[in-house]
Structure formats: C-alpha cells, structure tokens
Amino acid sequence: MKTEPGAWNILIRNSIKTIDELSKEIDLTDEEKIDAKNLPLRITSYYLDLINKYPVLRKAVVPTLNEFKVSDDESVDPLAEDLYKMTPCIIHKYPNRVLFTVTNICGTYCRYCTRSRMVGDNLNFTKSQWDEGFKYISEHPEIVDVLISGGDPLTLSDSNLDYILSNLKKIPHVSIIRIGTKVPVVLPQRITNDLIDVLKRYQPVYINIHFTHEVELTDECKNACKKLLSAGAILGSQTVLLKGINNDAEVLKNLFYELLKIGCKPYYIYQMDRIAGGSHFRCDLDEMIEIMKKLISYNTGMAIPEFIIDTEIGKIPLRLDYVVRNENGKYTLTNFEKNKSIEY
C-alpha cells in the first residue's frame, strides 16, 4: 500500500532508525550503545528535539541494556492477544468489542510497547487482511465497538484510513469506532486538513491518545488535538505509569489537568504490561495506590483516569477500598485521606 506524499511522510521516512544515526544526534551512554533486541528503533526528528529539551522522555524511546533482562513473569505477549486472534487483524477478547490491528508501524517506538513482537517496517498488514477483518466483524452481530490500533493507525495514508472507516461504517451493528494513537504527540504534523476532512465524514470517532508526560503537551501537540476536535472527534488519553519518567503524582496531576484544558478526557492510566525486558519501567502496586490517593485528593473527578492493570484475562481496575465495613446494614466509608470516615 503506497503512502500519500506530504511533509509528515517525509518526517517518518527520515526518522532515526539506527543507533549509529542516534549517536550523531545525542551523546549515548555505554548502556544505550546497543542494537535493539525485541523492538526496532524509531524516533521522529520532532520527538528527538523534545527529548533533547526534556531528557525525562529519553528512557521511553532510547533502548538500553535493560531490555535484555527478562524476568520469569514477563512475556512477548503479556495480554495473550494471540490466543484471541480470529484473523490476522482481529483480536476478539471481549464479548462485544474487538481490536482491529491495521498496521505494524508507529511514528516512534516506545520501549515498553506491549506489541513489540509485531511492530516494525518489515511487517505490515495487507488490504486483503483488512477485508478479512471486515468480514469477521460483519458476521458477528454481537460486536458493537471496534478499536482501530496497531502499530499506529494514523501512520496510514488518508485514503487507507478512509477505506477502513468507510467499511466499518457500512456494518450496521458497529456503533462505536475508536482509534488508538500516539501520533499527535510524536508527529503532530500528521494531523493535516486532509485527515480532518476524512474524519469529519465518520463522526463521532473516539480517539484515544497515548500521553506519557506533561512536557509532551507542546503548542504543536495542542494544535493537533484542537484540529481533531474540529473534526468531531471525541478525545481521551491513555497513560502508562513508568518508573523514572512519570511515576510522580505532581507530574500526572499537571498532565491530566492540561489534557482537560484542551478537551481531552484522561481515560486510563496503566500499570505497565509485563512485556519481556520491561521490568525496569514497572512500578509496584503500593506505589500506584499512593499515587492514586494523591491524585484523588488533588484533582477534580474529570481529571482522574481509571487505574488499570491489563492482563491475559483482561483489564482489571485498581480501585481504593473506600467501603471498609458492612455491619448490621450499615457501611463505614472513608475518603482519600483514610483518617476520616462516615457511617452510611
């Protein structure tokens, strides 16, 4: 499938793809001077500039020797997606919704990617495989919700996105279409007027954007989100909790408030999946719970995402135990401070 010409395509083609190229742009440590093992390297020039300005982002996209350390509880497919693969593109894990992986390419490859087993320039889906996906969905009327993911769907051309969205819209029982992407963060130039024209034809489309840190909310990123809103898109965010990058309540509080200000609802915050070679990113649950408490005390409810642990049996919400006792028909309820309670 050919891509359409445009500045954003040039930026993808010219992105950093080898350690040698990266070493010419930034000073690498001995730990970083490695060939990536499980996941290719790709960093757009736009995001590289952001890394140089905000080194806190570096660990998220620059490979290190830590990727070679695999613990017993880690897997190349930690969510057991391959067990639920019904066609090359369709993962049907939940009763009434499917994951539709339409591409294996991303604008920038995050080192903690849960699908690192299947991304890279040498891999991609074909139009006939998409058609198999449409056929599967059309033959399963219980499917009402389709999440278009990958890879990153917004690395596809406008004509290919139009093809996918139009075919999904033709299926009568599909009422919700979602797109998962990090493109507005790593390649905001992709959000062109032509793309907006495509999305306008299929509104409402729910677009869940992967944000990691408040510093990613540049003017370019905010403008890209504003354009998506103008297309009738409904924006939400998904954030992975990452040790040494964003496992800080103040950082997350600021991120979630800034997202609300640009019309993007904080939706999920994830414990990092148990991907092979990813333990150096993972926070323990006690730390997650403490961060939750602080966020709940700081933020309006609109700025508090659902905390999620994703597993081979599905997504599991991590919620605080506010109902501490049920006795004689009465409940004792606490708030985020835990030293205050009320009988209900």
89, two tokens: 């593109």
Give the count of domains, the chain: 1
Is 30 inside a domain boundary? yes
Instruction: Give the pLDDT mean for 290-299.
Output: 87
Instruction: Give the pLDDT mean for 107-130.
Output: 89
CA atoms within 13 A on the CB side of 240: 20
Is 1 inside a domain boundary? no
pLDDT at 327: 66
Give the other-Cβ count within 10 Å of 90's Cβ: 23
pLDDT at 326: 67
Q: How confident is the model at residue 252 (pLDDT cuts 50, 70, 90)?
A: very high
Contact predicate 269/241, CB 8 Å: yes
More reliable by pLDDT, 273 or 2: 273
Which residue type occupies 50?
L
Q: How confident is the model at residue 1 (pLDDT cuts 50, 70, 90)?
A: very low
Q: How far is CA 27 from CA 62, 65, 95, 270, in A?
A: 12, 16, 48, 31
pLDDT at 121: 67
Q: How far is CA 25 from CA 28, 43, 71, 125, in A?
A: 9, 11, 32, 32
Is 325 inside a domain boundary? yes
Most confident of the ranges 17-21, 22-26, 235-239 = 235-239
Is 65 inside a domain boundary? yes
Res. 58: pLDDT tops 90? yes
* pLDDT > 90: percent of the chain: 74
Which residue type occupies 64?
T
Res. 329: pLDDT tops 80? no
Res. 4: pLDDT tops 70? no
Is 117 inside a domain boundary? yes
Contact predicate 141/108, CB 8 Å: no
Omega before residue 88 within 30° of 0, cis: no
Res. 340: pLDDT tops 80? no
Residue 292, C-beta contacts closer than 8 angstroms, at least 6 positions apart = 307, 318, 320
pLDDT at 293: 86
pLDDT at 217: 98
Average pLDDT for the chain: 91
Report residue 24: phi and psi, to 5°.
-80, -15
Strands 341-343 and 330-334, by their bridges, are antiparallel
Could you give the 3-state DSSP secondary structure of residue 39? Answer: coil
Specify the CATH number for the domain of residue 131.
3.20.20.70
- DSSP track, 51-108: HHH-GGGHHHHS--GGGG---TT-BSSTT-GGGGBSSSSEEEEETTEEEEE--S--SS
Range of the domain at 70: 7-343
Is 162 inside a domain boundary? yes
* pLDDT > 70: percent of the chain: 94
Instruction: Give the pLDDT mean for 326-331.
Output: 72
pLDDT at 224: 98
Instruction: Give the pLDDT mean for 91-114.
Output: 95
Q: How far is CA 152 from CA 234, 247, 297, in A?
A: 18, 25, 34
How confident is the model over 119-169, as pLDDT tens digits? 876 678 999 999 999 999 999 999 999 999 999 999 999 999 999 999 999
Burial of 182 (0-12, 13-18, 19+ CB in 10 A): buried
Q: How confident is the model at residue 2 (pLDDT cuts 50, 70, 90)?
A: very low
Residue 249, C-beta contacts closer than 8 angstroms, at least 6 positions apart = 290, 291, 294, 295, 298
Is 81 inside a domain boundary? yes
With CA atoms as reference, report the closest residue to 272 among 288, 285, 260, 283. Answer: 283
Burial of 325 (0-12, 13-18, 19+ CB in 10 A): exposed
Instruction: Give the pLDDT mean for 315-327.
Output: 73
